[in-house]
Structure 1
Amino acid sequence: MHKTNLIRIFLLLLAVLGIWYFILKSYDYSISFKAAGLPGEVYQKILAFDYENLGNINDLNRTPFNEIEQQASVEGTNLEITWLFEEENDSTTRVKVLVNEENTFLSRLQLLTGSSTTQEILSQDLKRLKWALEMDTEQYKVEITGMVPSPAATCACISLENKIEKKAGDMMQTIGRLAEFMKQNELEMAGKPRIQVNNWDLPANKIFYEFCFPIGTGSIKVPAKGIYFKDFPAKNSIHAIYNGNYMYSHLAWIRILDYAEKNNHEITKTPLEIFQENPELGGDSRFWRADIYLPLK
């Protein structure tokens, strides 16, 4: 009788585990790893990463710097992927990836038998991602210096909008128009080129901004479509020095946001960037400098 009861208890536990594993469990499997950087930095890099096998990526929902929900596919198998980001310390983020395949029962059965090729392929992609995240930390540096007034200026500007990671490409495409406008109107540069972000749409990962050349005195003699003068007053701001390729200078914005939150400073999400080097001259991009300002409220 005692042996019979043990068998019944074992079968009951097995049934409960089976119901949980095949029916109640909210994901097929998870993959976790640690990455260098703040959650916001890792979040931004994952949105822009070029995977080798993971394709047809469609972002369903984003909670900036905390969570990304995606649909994707690996070799014809459709997946639902949830990325979770948790700060471990000032330099490390814990990333957890929850995965559901389109045929959940078959997927979980294959995991039990060790025959899931999709999990293996996805794991390889995530290993490459982790390696890329580690290498990225060597390509740029951010130093927050404290609170200062941002430099006031009168500028010739062009309005732009795009995904945040494409701002450097936008500037390269429009810098010639601004330079020609300056030449035709006999205007002299009175400072370094800058961008002023007027709207940072975090969920869409998009910015609406102005790319500008500071000018001295002068007037528009030869108008150019889409180019205008604008005054930028000084604003009390948190300042950071960014060294690295200007494609990734927005990662300094995230560092400033984190600094402001941890030090109880209220700021507006309207960064000002002033570029001290000309990328067209080449050189080691790790030593390019930009001064970043996020205004206090």
Structure 2
Amino acid sequence: MKKVITITIAIISIALFWYFFIKPQDYQIRVVAKSIPGTINQSLKAWNNSIENASIVQLEDLKHLKQTIKSEDSTHIYTWNISSINDSTSKLKVDVIDLNNSFKNKLSIPFTDTDFEKGSRKLVTEFMSYLNKHRKEFKVTIQPEEELPSTYCACVKHKTIQSKKAIAMKDSYPFLNSVLVGNGLKLNGVPFIEITDWNIDNDSLAFNFCYPILKTDSLPVIKDILYKEFKGAKSLKAIYNGNYITSDRAWYTLLDYAEKNKIKVDPKPVEFFYNNPNMGGDALYWKTEVFIPIAE
């Protein structure tokens, strides 16, 4: 009996030591989201910008992010862990810790519904509302694989971040269009962007914003205009309907599709735009063809 008591006390002591001093979070929240990990990742980053004294960093990959929210008397850390359930649904596990009151929280949580728990649930609920609203603002439809055609084009180079891609395009659109037409070049298709570098860890982009043109023997030299042969390739394809600011949601959808179907791709998306956003209208009726080349 004495041995049993000793072992029981030891187990309880180890469990209490782990709970108060090793357990990585004070509180954990689990929710299911009707979105893929890439959309959740970008939505978290956009939503974070609306929160005062908040910052967010991506950890080892797009499925793991750490958000820090500071107030006068505490610093709360939200570690967002995203895992895919199926083609359209993900599970979110959110570990929360209050750096200034962790021991107090762990002591109180088993016995009462604390303000810390209520505040944590409120914040996660606010994000889910933001995400659900955003889901209604666009649509992505996977299409059959397609051979992306080659074309000759005139381009403007850009380096920016994903959330500012559309701004860079908007700034270049009137310049590119008017300069090409003004110099007698004949347009030969809709404008498109060719991603030349995409750093998924920090959301940085390098891309060419291009117009297909008819190649002539003598092309005018125009400052900031690059002429090039765009080489097509067999690609995964999606149709994106929505604001061009968030067309990268289709990129993540195609990457997710490629991963689930064990298709090796070159993560350098190409987008063809069939609407001029400067003309306004309901963005859900704007059409973008999105391609990601299949790796050889």
Question: What's the TM-score once normalised by structure 2's chain length?
Answer: 0.88
CA distance in structure 2 between the aligned counterparts of 1:147 and 1:38, rounded to whole angstroms: 21
SS at match of 2:131: helix
- Answering whether residue 181 of structure 2 is matched by residue 183 of structure 1, we say yes
CA distance in structure 1 between the aligned counterparts of 2:51 and 2:139, rounded to whole angstroms: 30
CA distance in structure 2 between the aligned counterparts of 1:52 and 1:102, rounded to whole angstroms: 22
The alpha carbon displacement at 1:217 in A equals: 3.2
SS at match of 1:63: coil
CA distance in structure 2 between the aligned counterparts of 1:50 and 1:58, rounded to whole angstroms: 7
- Superposed, 1:77-226 pairs within 5 Å as 77-103=74-100, 104-112=102-110, 114=112, 116-218=114-216, 219-221=218-220, 223-224=222-223, 226=224
SS at match of 1:234: coil
The alpha carbon displacement at 1:114 in A equals: 4.1
The alpha carbon displacement at 1:28 in A equals: 1.3
- Larger mean Cα displacement after TM superposition, 43-52 or 111-120: 111-120
CA distance in structure 2 between the aligned counterparts of 1:222 and 1:51, rounded to whole angstroms: 42
CA distance in structure 2 between the aligned counterparts of 1:106 and 1:125, rounded to whole angstroms: 20
Deviation digits for residues 142-190 of structure 1, max 9, x if unmatched? 1221211113221111111221122111111221221232133122321
- Larger mean Cα displacement after TM superposition, 62-71 or 121-130: 62-71
Pick the aligned partner of 1:228 from 204, 226, 229. Answer: 226
Pick the aligned partner of 1:294 from 280, 292, 295. Answer: 292
CA distance in structure 2 between the aligned counterparts of 1:203 and 1:37, rounded to whole angstroms: 20
CA distance in structure 1 between the aligned counterparts of 2:71 and 2:112, rounded to whole angstroms: 18
What is the CA RMSD across the aligned residues, in angstroms? 2.6
| Contact 2:198–2:206 under 8 Å retained in 1 | yes
- Superposed, 1:235-250 pairs within 5 Å as 235-250=233-248
SS at match of 2:59: strand
Q: Residue 20 of structure 1 corresponds to which residue in structure 2?
A: 18
Deviation digits for residues 183-225 of structure 1, max 9, x if unmatched? 331223211110000111111122111111111234543522x
- Kindly provide the amino acid, as one letter, of the partner of residue 90 in structure 2: T
**Could you say if the C-alpha distance between residues 276 and 77 of structure 1 is closer, same or farther in structure 2, counting changes exceeding 3 Å?**
same
CA distance in structure 2 between the aligned counterparts of 1:264 and 1:13, rounded to whole angstroms: 45
CA distance in structure 1 between the aligned counterparts of 2:115 and 2:122, rounded to whole angstroms: 11
**Could you say if the C-alpha distance between residues 83 and 250 of structure 1 is closer, same or farther in structure 2, counting changes exceeding 3 Å?**
same
The alpha carbon displacement at 1:9 in A equals: 8.3
The alpha carbon displacement at 1:77 in A equals: 1.8
Deviation digits for residues 29-87 of structure 1, max 9, x if unmatched? 1112111111222122212224655633041x423332113433245521333211111
CA distance in structure 2 between the aligned counterparts of 1:286 and 1:273, rounded to whole angstroms: 16
The alpha carbon displacement at 1:20 in A equals: 2.5
**Could you say if the C-alpha distance between residues 78 and 296 of structure 1 is closer, same or farther in structure 2, counting changes exceeding 3 Å?**
same
Deviation digits for residues 102-143 of structure 1, max 9, x if unmatched? 122233235356474344333222111111212222222212
- Superposed, 1:13-92 pairs within 5 Å as 15-50=13-48, 53=51, 55-59=53-57, 61-74=58-71, 76-92=73-89
Question: What's the TM-score once normalised by structure 1's chain length?
Answer: 0.88
CA distance in structure 2 between the aligned counterparts of 1:53 and 1:230, rounded to whole angstroms: 43
CA distance in structure 1 between the aligned counterparts of 2:8 and 2:135, rounded to whole angstroms: 51
> Percent identity between the aligned chains?
29
The alpha carbon displacement at 1:11 in A equals: 6.5
SS at match of 2:146: strand
**Could you say if the C-alpha distance between residues 296 and 51 of structure 1 is closer, same or farther in structure 2, counting changes exceeding 3 Å?**
closer
CA distance in structure 1 between the aligned counterparts of 2:3 and 2:110, rounded to whole angstroms: 27
**Could you say if the C-alpha distance between residues 93 and 209 of structure 1 is closer, same or farther in structure 2, counting changes exceeding 3 Å?**
same
Q: Residue 276 of structure 1 corresponds to which residue in structure 2?
A: 274
Structure 1 portions without partners, runs of 5+? none
The alpha carbon displacement at 1:18 in A equals: 2.8
| Contact 1:185–1:222 under 8 Å retained in 2 | no
| Contact 1:52–1:125 under 8 Å retained in 2 | no
The alpha carbon displacement at 1:286 in A equals: 0.7
CA distance in structure 1 between the aligned counterparts of 2:179 and 2:10, rounded to whole angstroms: 79
The alpha carbon displacement at 1:238 in A equals: 1.2
